[in-house]
Structure 1
Amino acid sequence: MLKIFRATAILEGISYLLLFGMTMPLKHWADIPEPNQVVGMAHGILFILYVVVAIVFCWERKWKLKRFIILFVASLLPFGTFYADKKYLKNLA
């Protein structure tokens, strides 16, 4: 489960950065909305998957709600999932 959660966290973080760093500027500055639709959909799916896997992972590890909230907030911040992976998940392997 740890490998799945770490992979999901990294993919969600990459999709978040692609969405805001590449496709949103293309949509708003260059009037090219198509990449934003594709990456936005992928990011939405990965975000939902990240939250579901975080819930299962925290429940499986019997972590307190505070740790889940930290992982959830990390998914809302740019580079947050990378930080959460390094601080909370990497040393568990």
Structure 2
Amino acid sequence: MTKARSIWMFRKIASVEGWSYIVLLFIAMPLKYWAGMTEIVPLVGMAHGWLFIAYMGALVFASSYGGLSMSRVNWAILASLLPFGTFVHDPYLKREEEVARGDAV
């Protein structure tokens, strides 16, 4: 697998994980507390948990094989903890992917 491909894979997993976090915080939790639909949070929470594990695994893979800097790894960890953080971080990862691919201007 190429460096660019490992970063691309991490970006895709980060996007899905970011959406799962948004769904958990802004759809499932309000439905639990405002509509009494308590069964939704465990389902969405479990999916988000597995996606978070995949996110961290892909981050380790991209950092070791893809050559992400330790600074970029730290930003990725911080981004995973903040709502919308993975989406804000994505353009930086895209630039690293382009550099790894040789497409950077």
What is the TM-score of this pair, normalised by structure 2?
0.80
Identity %: 41
How many residues were matched structurally?
A: 92
Decide which structure has greater helix share: 1
Structure 1 partner of 2:84: 79
1:40 aligns with 2:45: yes
1:50 aligns with 2:73: no
Structure 2 partner of 1:8: 13
Q: Judge conservation of contact 2:7–2:66 (CA < 8 Å) in 1.
A: no
Listed as ranges, the gaps of 5+ residues in structure 2 are 1-5, 99-105
Structure 1 partner of 2:24: 19
Greater Cα radius of gyration, structure 1 or 2: 2
What is the TM-score of this pair, normalised by structure 1?
0.89
Change (3 A) 1:86 1:64: closer
Listed as ranges, the gaps of 5+ residues in structure 1 are none
Structure 2 partner of 1:31: 36
